[in-house]
Chain A
């Protein structure tokens, strides 16, 4: 096609895009409803629509131009990110060293952010067992997170148990809930399972919200005890029985933050270690086989129900542990922290990381939670960008950041498997 015809075609394409933008935004942005003194009134904002249309026009034109005149050798963004993925074998150790060393040089703000990111890394790794390994789509993972958090908060408040006693109990309780939920619904397949888990997540939240005598309803539970280091508390006062008093150092708020940071780092690494080890056990191999082909699994004599149940229970258990940590870190929990948005974010982290890839999940958590934090100043535009980024990242990397897989067991040298050869499960 001659150059001028291409320019005309591109201009027409961009113009149509701008026209669609006017159609989409003309009413929604152009006319703002305002609750006036007596009734609703409309405030016209024509310039916002013009700007939006102009931005779309220019953006579309730039995109088309870039596609048309990109030098032949330049790799597309897809390829660029794929190249980055190949350097992956060095990324994991560097990240680990960085994570362990962070408290030595980072300030309070960065440590708090680190705790948040690690919580999501742990949740991502936990959910990865269910979605990535066993191929079961769970849209209500936050329910187990909530069970763990409330288990610790209530046990600590009503029975005076400490964090380290409650931590395994919270994991155990969450695993029990995983089994209770899983038992009736694991016969369901695909999206039926997805909607039931979603429903379960909502049921837990609604019960927490309305069972006021137990959970204090929407007001939540406050003054949840902080964790202790072998019985030593982190208190500002110093004196005997506190960490500062025992080690004879100046009491400082950052000591507790550093301690919390290492607790969640340890918990996250535990999750990682357990799932890596489980992948090598017959159980873990059965999970992956189940994801690849359920019928073949049945034919080979694998008990599908118990295999699915164990995956569900393991995932739930780690969710519960993360929940207990969340409760002790915040010292306050309310049902508002356990909405569907949380489940969706964790699932997005798992899928964006590359289902089943431990490193990918950690990177995705870092990118997404860190990214959200970077845009904190943008206030209400933050989630707008978050949603848009999810769509764009999925389009650029539908298989996730780290999409290749290394088999857990192989004859000879283990070679990476292309993502196109991996099934993603239907259950």
Chain B
């Protein structure tokens, strides 16, 4: 029982990180209907930016952990947002209105570009980082195994909930959010009604990239090692999560992220670690076969 509780906590933490990335995928997909393959790599860039910021801050003598983390969060989110904006501007905007595979290939090219850019500029070696937040709380002391939640996990869950809270407010309560939802429903009509669609799409990429950077920071804190390749695996998982939750649906993305995180953790804990990705993907396939539009997605209505 304690063991299962522990896995539940671990799975939720991992799922939160996936959920944050998945939101970026699902937003972009909802509005312009493309798979932004470079999104996973923006997450990786965010993780590297966080590493640079944390190392730099400790080098100039800022040792207060909450302050350093807050500064890093803002810095990484801001620069990653700039990455998101630039990527959209360079690689996707010229292809708007073109046929649907062109932006996909452009995105794959961008993903390769970002991966190799980080490899060239920061080196191919794995970067370790000493844990910043230590200590844990014992939740359940069993006879053989006791479950505990670490301060790091609490920090991750709280940060995610806060960021998602701000994000939800942004989408549901602000003019920008209204414009985004309008573009998601009908891009052309939104443009006719006076919404600056180009700007809205740009801002969607900016927000998605910022969320991915937060996920990158959390990933760095949780695992303590990063390299230039983490973006691909996390990106595929997060995209799987977005599809599982019903692509285009924001709560679906978070739910899908949590589901993927839990499946992976429980599978590794009770069966084999090696096949955890196979389990996650297989469940995706099974869910899609029985619920073709995902857990919370709307079914496509086809007009002829």
Residues of chain A at the chain B interface (Cβ within 8 Å): 20, 23-29, 31-35, 39-42, 131, 137, 184-185, 187-189, 191-192, 194-196, 198-200, 202-203, 206-207, 209-210, 295, 340-341, 344, 347-348, 351-352, 355, 380-381, 383-384, 386-391, 394-395, 398-399, 424, 426
Contacts A31-B52, A351-B101, A394-B102 given; does A387 touch B111 at CB 8 Å: yes
Q: Is the CB of A203 within 8 A of B281?
A: yes
Report if B62 contacts A (CB, 8 A).
no
Q: Is the CB of A33 within 8 A of B122?
A: yes
Q: Is the CB of B94 within 8 A of A395?
A: yes
Q: Is the CB of B284 within 8 A of A191?
A: no
Report if B301 contacts A (CB, 8 A).
no
Q: Is the CB of B120 within 8 A of A192?
A: no
A-side contacts of B274, CB under 8 Å = 206, 209-210
B-side contacts of A41, CB under 8 Å = 55, 59
Q: Is the CB of B102 within 8 A of A399?
A: yes
Q: Is the CB of B99 within 8 A of A424?
A: yes
Nearest Cβ on chain A to B236's Cβ, whole angstroms: 7
Question: Most chain-A CB neighbours within 10 Å: which of B94, B102, B275, B284?
Answer: B102
Smallest CB-CB A-B distances: 10 pairs: A390-B109, A387-B113, A387-B112, A199-B281, A398-B102, A384-B116, A398-B98, A391-B109, A210-B274, A394-B106
Q: Is the CB of B52 within 8 A of A340?
A: no
Report if B215 contacts A (CB, 8 A).
no
Q: Is the CB of A195 within 8 A of B239?
A: yes
Q: Is the CB of B113 within 8 A of A384?
A: yes
Report if B151 contacts A (CB, 8 A).
no
A-B contact pairs, 25 of them (CB 8 A): A24-B83, A27-B49, A31-B56, A33-B48, A33-B52, A33-B122, A35-B125, A40-B128, A42-B52, A184-B285, A189-B300, A192-B288, A195-B35, A195-B243, A195-B284, A196-B285, A199-B285, A202-B281, A207-B275, A295-B302, A348-B105, A380-B120, A381-B116, A387-B113, A390-B105
B-side contacts of A203, CB under 8 Å = 277-278, 281-282
Within 8 A of A (CB), among B108-130: 108-125, 127-130
Cα A156 to Cα B292 in complex, Å, equals 41
Cα A399 to Cα B100 in complex, Å, equals 10
B-side contacts of A389, CB under 8 Å = 109
For A394, the closest partner residue in chain B by CB is: B106
Q: Is the CB of B79 within 8 A of A23?
A: yes
Report if B269 contacts A (CB, 8 A).
no
B-side contacts of A387, CB under 8 Å = 109-116
Cα A390 to Cα B105 in complex, Å, equals 7
A-B contact count (CB 8 A): 187
B-side contacts of A383, CB under 8 Å = 112, 115-116
Within 8 A of A (CB), among B189-240: 232, 236, 239-240
Tell me the dominant secondary structure on chain A's binding face. Answer: helix
Cα A295 to Cα B29 in complex, Å, equals 23
B-side contacts of A184, CB under 8 Å = 285, 289
Cα A122 to Cα B183 in complex, Å, equals 41
Nearest Cβ on chain A to B274's Cβ, whole angstroms: 4
Report if B45 contacts A (CB, 8 A).
yes
Cα A141 to Cα B63 in complex, Å, equals 50
A-side contacts of B118, CB under 8 Å = 28
Question: Most chain-A CB neighbours within 10 Å: which of B75, B119, B127, B288?
Answer: B288
Report if B53 contacts A (CB, 8 A).
yes
Report if B155 contacts A (CB, 8 A).
no
B-side contacts of A28, CB under 8 Å = 45, 48-49, 52, 117-118, 121-122
For B81, the closest partner residue in chain A by CB is: A23
For A352, the closest partner residue in chain B by CB is: B105
Select which of A29, A40, A390 is within 8 A of B108 by beta carbon: A390
Query: Besides A33-B55, A394-B91, 13 other CB < 8 A contacts?
Result: A27-B75, A40-B55, A42-B55, A42-B59, A196-B288, A199-B240, A206-B275, A351-B105, A384-B113, A387-B110, A391-B106, A394-B105, A395-B94
Q: Is the CB of B292 within 8 A of A27?
A: no
Q: Is the CB of A24 within 8 A of B86?
A: yes
A-side contacts of B285, CB under 8 Å = 184-185, 196, 199-200
